[in-house]
Amino acid sequence: MPTTGRNWLQIKVMIALAMLLLGTAAVFGYLSMLGAENQASQELLSRVRQLDTLGQAIQRRSATYAEHAPRDYGPYDRDLIIFFPDYMRDLQAYEAQVRGVHETATHSGNPLAGDPRITTPVTQLLEGWQGFMTGFRDKIGDNPAEPRLEWAAEYVRDNKAMIAQLTVNLIQAVEDAIQQRQARNELVTVSVFLAAGAGLLLGIIWFYYRVVRRIGLTVRGCQRVAQGDFGYQLPITGEDELARLGQAFNTLSARTRLVVNMLSKMHRPSSHDDKLAMLLAEATGYLDIQTLSLWQLEPDGVHTRLLSLKSATSLDDTTQNTLRNLGRADTHLAQLCQTRQAIKIDHLSDYVLATPHARLLRELTVNRGQNAALLVPLATEDGWRGLLLFSADAPAAYTDEQAELLGNMSGYMAHGFAQTEVVHPA
């Protein structure tokens, strides 16, 4: 039986793969961000430590010069040529390093730029250094030809604690901030990997129950049918491709059971009632059947008689007699017995309106609530004629495929019913 529907399984698998891809990209993006943050942290820490090293060098040079400053012009001229340029280069290097630290810590692309635990001491370092250099310029004077080296050296020596404190505070702040961020990142990383692992586990469980397990059930169903368990039905869940595959399997299994059992049981010696009951039981898994009746065309070609009537619900004698009497004089039913192909009627009410002399079908739809019918004419080479009438509550209950299958089996069923040894009188 053909079924239609969206390819839900493909959609779900594609969504799952997209989520897996996005999750993987998010994890790699997060790890990349952590790597960039770690690199920025280490770069900042390295710059701060270099700054501390430069500060210590300046302090040692200043302290040495302040203790051994020359008191006459000869040594002063020598220091002006040798000591002063190197000293100023150290100060310029220190200032450049301070500005480099400030730029590194406050750059918009730096993951640490928004952390006040780092930006605050860095700003204090810059402001402290600017204040220090203001005092230094006052001490060294504004005459570059005759700088006051001794006063400047003493000023640096006297403020060495301030310089050291600036860098020590910054180093401590940066190290504390880095450790706290690393601890937080480790916690977040563990949470991310746990969430990713849980998501992957849920995905595996979903894939197993919604795909692997259902495929396994279908394979086992095929094996059971191959071993002779015709009619075996798979449990159907959902509306995806595997559900449609299961529906197709169930249809094929029911059809196989119907054909195989018809081949094995139709020609056994039994009554019309027994054979029709067997047909009802075997076809129920394949067809929607509310009532099933077997009619035989009389030799006059005008009248029909009811050989057997079966229903999914019990029918009282009055109902059976009514149908029997209607069918006996129903010329339309006699005409249907002489057709060559199975006929399916999707909407009985519309059909009987267009066919006023279809008395039996009118009774089925008006008083019995039937909305669809499938009529299978039966004929043998020796002239026996009959009709199988299937009816169902739901409209359009029968498909072209079902009509074609029963039409192909009509000759075989006709021989089986015609050769029935025990016939119940109409």
* Total number of domains in the chain: 2
**Domain harbouring 101, CATH code:** 1.20.1420
Q: Which DSSP string corresponds to 118-131? A: HHHHHHHHHHHHHH
Give the model's pLDDT for residue 3. 47
When computed from its CA atoms, the radius of gyration of the chain, rounded to whole angstroms, is: 49
DSSP 8-state code for residue 41:
H
Give the model's pLDDT for residue 109. 66
Q: What is the pTM of this model?
A: 0.53
CA-nearest of 156, 152, 165 to 51 is 165
DSSP 8-state code for residue 185:
H
Within this chain, do residues 194 and 313 fall inside the same structural domain, yes or no? no
218 occurs within a structural domain: no
Q: Which amino acid is at 289?
A: I
Within this chain, do residues 282 and 184 fall inside the same structural domain, yes or no? no
3-state secondary structure of 300: coil
Contacts of 400 (CB under 8 A, 6+ apart): 344
- In which order are the strands placed within the sheet that holds 304-311? 304-311, 291-297, 385-392, 372-379, 343-345
Cα–Cα distance for residue pair 341/54, rounded to 1 Å: 104
At which of 178, 200, 222 does a domain end? Answer: 200
Cα–Cα distance for residue pair 344/349, rounded to 1 Å: 13
248 occurs within a structural domain: no
CB 44 within 8 A of CB 102: no
Q: Which amino acid is at 405?
A: L
Would you mind telling me the total number of residues written for the chain in this entry? 426
CB 390 within 8 A of CB 373: yes
Within this chain, do residues 175 and 309 fall inside the same structural domain, yes or no? no
Contacts of 375 (CB under 8 A, 6+ apart): 336, 339, 342, 343, 344, 345, 387, 388, 389, 390
Within this chain, do residues 273 and 409 fall inside the same structural domain, yes or no? yes
Containing domain of residue 90, as a range? Answer: 8-200
At which of 200, 221, 241 does a domain end? Answer: 200
Within this chain, do residues 291 and 167 fall inside the same structural domain, yes or no? no
What does the buried/exposed string (b/e) look like for 140-167 if buried means 16 or more CB atoms within 10 Å of the residue's CB? beeeeeebebbbbbbbbbebbeebeebb
Within this chain, do residues 181 and 288 fall inside the same structural domain, yes or no? no
Within this chain, do residues 275 and 191 fall inside the same structural domain, yes or no? no
Q: Please, how many CA atoms are within 13 Å of residue 25, restricted to the half-sphere of its CB?
A: 6
Within this chain, do residues 152 and 68 fall inside the same structural domain, yes or no? yes
160 occurs within a structural domain: yes
Provide the sign of the torsion angle of the four alpha carbons 109, 115, 116, 118, taken in this order: negative
Within this chain, do residues 166 and 279 fall inside the same structural domain, yes or no? no
User: How many helices and strands (H and E) does the chain possess?
Assistant: 14, 5
The two tokens of residue 384 are 């026996």
Indicate the pairing of strand 385-392 with strand 343-345: unpaired
Within this chain, do residues 121 and 36 fall inside the same structural domain, yes or no? yes
Within this chain, do residues 29 and 168 fall inside the same structural domain, yes or no? yes
277 occurs within a structural domain: yes
Within this chain, do residues 139 and 29 fall inside the same structural domain, yes or no? yes
425 occurs within a structural domain: no
130 occurs within a structural domain: yes
Helix (H) or strand (E) holding 42: helix 8-67
Helix (H) or strand (E) holding 421: none
List the beta bridge partners of residue 153.
Answer: none
> Which residues, given as ranges, of the chain have pLDDT below 50?
1-3, 422-426
**Domain harbouring 364, CATH code:** 3.30.450.40
3-state secondary structure of 283: helix
Give the model's pLDDT for residue 71. 52
3 occurs within a structural domain: no
**209 burial class (0-12, 13-18, 19+ CB within 10 angstroms)?**
exposed
Cα–Cα distance for residue pair 75/288, rounded to 1 Å: 119
At which of 141, 167, 200 does a domain end? Answer: 200
C-alpha distances out from residue 36 to 12, 25, 130, 252, Å: 35, 16, 31, 61
Cα–Cα distance for residue pair 199/189, rounded to 1 Å: 15
